[in-house]
Structure 1
């Protein structure tokens, strides 16, 4: 598999190199040189397969013979060794596709665990890495648990202090061992900027074997394609004809994966790019002007991102496929409307958290009579227990994954959003 740097098309690397580098020169994102696709017959055949076998077929279509199917299957089986996604019907023509049944109760488990398995299986015996990543909530836990106790791999996770839920924090800031967490006195965008600056420092990269586990890493992105095929396999023939998928968007990796699934041949009619009040992309799609505003804190904190990293990949995919960006549906939802959507879903018999509720609100507003809609459930509602309980005035039980970590001490360090301070930390720890 060959990938090119979106900022410098002359920089082309293998899949293995792209995984290890994370970012290319000038902080450029890697993108496949060839975008494969399935014939209608191949598509009908893989939809009959089990999740692991199908995922192997999908990912091997991108990776090619760089990694054998046998080795790929083995890594995918280890990575996706948890309950498959579930489809839960909400109304006659709307369902939630729940992606939060992994070890950290969020959709990020798919990409993070696949990336961890690939890095570990491809690295040389004595080779060591430092994984540096930023999180707005769920990525941190998924990456931490995916790499926990892996030999010669150190993980450093940056997150905005006071801007993720306590339960999210407890999931990954209580592990210790090879997992180091740092709260940053700033926003998620500050955390993301620190990661990008670290990757621009060549000496630092080389001295600590720097890599990133954000959705900027192509391995995480490719893994997420697989569950869109799973969603398609779970719906009826009639529902497949006019399928619309509403995606809660933060860094836009999840939507990028869905669009790659469509590019592969999955006949999804339309996507809705769903954001909270950090609405850089919806405003851009309206005005064609890219004008990020200062990030604001909302109850859907994983989407509190004003400069989404993956948007250039989406633009490239539309350009390569000759798709029209005007056909991408979009919308943003205020905190008040998010709360109302959570209440509405509860009346329909479904307990949701804020991110999925945003996707539901926009889907229910935009879905046409002849269409069938899926909105992605990206995190278990218990991860936002205080917020959801306050809105619904109803108790939410904690799953064992969280319950076992609630009383453990937080092991985080704290620094200001200053790169020199972070660099010193990375070199000394």
Structure 2
């Protein structure tokens, strides 16, 4: 598989190089040079999730890895289901929270861990990532206690839920966490600065597990095929998928799936009040505002790193702007959508409710709507209980994590402070 840097087209790398490098020159993200269509998608949709996922990834990766290697990595990563739950006659929810950290990022995090285990060959690796909520837990658990791998996680202090935070800040060992006085965008900027620091990259073997890493992105393509496979055959060509969008990696994976042949009629990339992309699509002016805190904190992102990948596919005509929607959903509407879903018999946390609300705005008659549930409602117990007047039972994984002390260290939004801390601990 050949990929190129969207900010420096002269930088071309293999999949293995892209996984190990993470971010390209000039902070550019890597993207496939060619997204060829699959043959016989109907036959693929009749396969089981793991078998189909190995074939989809084999198609995307080309001859770079053997069938046996890809199958082994998929079997090790995708050990939990992604059920499609019917909410109404033409509304379905794809539940992506059945993995070990109860969030969709388990799919990408665990596949990336499998990739690095194959590719690193015993070399020292330091995973550096910023999280606005669920990435931290997924990455921490995927790499916890892995030999020759350290994990460094930055998160905005006080701006993610306790349940999200405790799932990764209580592990210790090779997982090092820093609570940053600032926003997720501040954390992400520090990560980008680290990848421009050639000395640090070399000494610590830096890699990133954010959705900028192509291995995470390609893993997420697979569960969109699983979603459509669970629709009745007669309804598969009318799928309209709505993705709650912050850093835009998840909807980018959905678009890749559509480009290579998954029958997706329309896509919605629904944001919260951090609505840089919806405003851009209206005005054609890229004008990020200061990041606002919201009920859907994992989407509190004003400068989404994956937007260049999405825009590349739209500008190339691989997916039509006419079939791509993006709306910003405010706090009151988010709460109202949660109550509306509850009245339909489905309990959703804020991110899921935003995906539902965006889908509802654009779902055409005759289309089958699929909205993504990216996290278990208990990860946002305070807001869900308060808005829906419930007392959601706490899954054992969350209850156990909440009972443990937080091991994160405080840090200013200052790259030099991060650099010194990492060299002191890991060099």
TM category (shorter chain) comes to over 0.9
In structure 2, distance between residues paired with 1:26 and 1:87: 40
Structure 1 residue corresponding to 2:42, chosen from 41, 44, 61: 44
Structure 2 match to 1:396? 392
Residues 302-357 of structure 1, C-alpha deviations (whole Å, 9 max, x = no match): 00000000000011112334544243112111111101111111111111000000
Kept in 2, the 8 Å contact 1:285–1:326? The answer is no
Structure 2 match to 1:148? 144
Size of the aligned set, in residue pairs, is: 425
SS in 2 for 1:404: helix
The answer to whether residue 2 in structure 2 is matched with residue 2 in structure 1 is yes
What TM-score comes out, normalization by structure 1 length? 0.98
The answer to whether residue 90 in structure 2 is matched with residue 93 in structure 1 is yes
Kept in 2, the 8 Å contact 1:189–1:305? The answer is yes
Kept in 2, the 8 Å contact 1:181–1:411? The answer is yes
The answer to whether residue 413 in structure 2 is matched with residue 417 in structure 1 is yes
SS in 2 for 1:116: helix
The answer to whether residue 316 in structure 2 is matched with residue 296 in structure 1 is no
In structure 2, distance between residues paired with 1:322 and 1:145: 35
Structure 2 match to 1:65? 63
State how 1:322-401 maps to structure 2 within 5 Å.
322-401=318-397
Structure 2 match to 1:33? 33
In structure 1, distance between residues paired with 2:211 and 2:268: 19
Structure 1 match to 2:181? 185
What TM-score comes out, normalization by structure 2 length? 0.98
The answer to whether residue 17 in structure 2 is matched with residue 21 in structure 1 is no
Kept in 2, the 8 Å contact 1:109–1:143? The answer is yes
SS in 1 for 2:115: helix
SS in 2 for 1:332: coil
Deviation at 1:404, TM superposition (A): 1.4
SS in 1 for 2:31: strand
In structure 1, distance between residues paired with 2:76 and 2:318: 37
In structure 2, distance between residues paired with 1:94 and 1:238: 15
Unaligned runs of 5+ in 1: none
Structure 2 match to 1:269? 265
In structure 1, distance between residues paired with 2:58 and 2:320: 28
Kept in 1, the 8 Å contact 2:128–2:208? The answer is yes
SS in 2 for 1:10: strand
Residues 159-193 of structure 1, C-alpha deviations (whole Å, 9 max, x = no match): 00000000111111000010011010000000000
In structure 2, distance between residues paired with 1:187 and 1:169: 15
In structure 2, distance between residues paired with 1:354 and 1:51: 27
Residues 62-98 of structure 1, C-alpha deviations (whole Å, 9 max, x = no match): 212211110110111011112x111111111111110
Residues 111-157 of structure 1, C-alpha deviations (whole Å, 9 max, x = no match): 000001110111113x1110000000000000000001000000000
Structure 2 match to 1:81? 79
Kept in 2, the 8 Å contact 1:285–1:325? The answer is no
In structure 1, distance between residues paired with 2:393 and 2:15: 42
In structure 2, distance between residues paired with 1:323 and 1:66: 26
Structure 2 match to 1:230? 226
Deviation at 1:37, TM superposition (A): 1.3
Deviation at 1:242, TM superposition (A): 1.6
In structure 1, distance between residues paired with 2:134 and 2:290: 21
Structure 1 residue corresponding to 2:165, chosen from 166, 169, 172: 169
SS in 2 for 1:386: helix
Structure 1 match to 2:252? 256
Deviation at 1:222, TM superposition (A): 0.2
Residues 1-50 of structure 1, C-alpha deviations (whole Å, 9 max, x = no match): 111111111111111110010011001100111212112xx211111111
Kept in 2, the 8 Å contact 1:225–1:260? The answer is yes
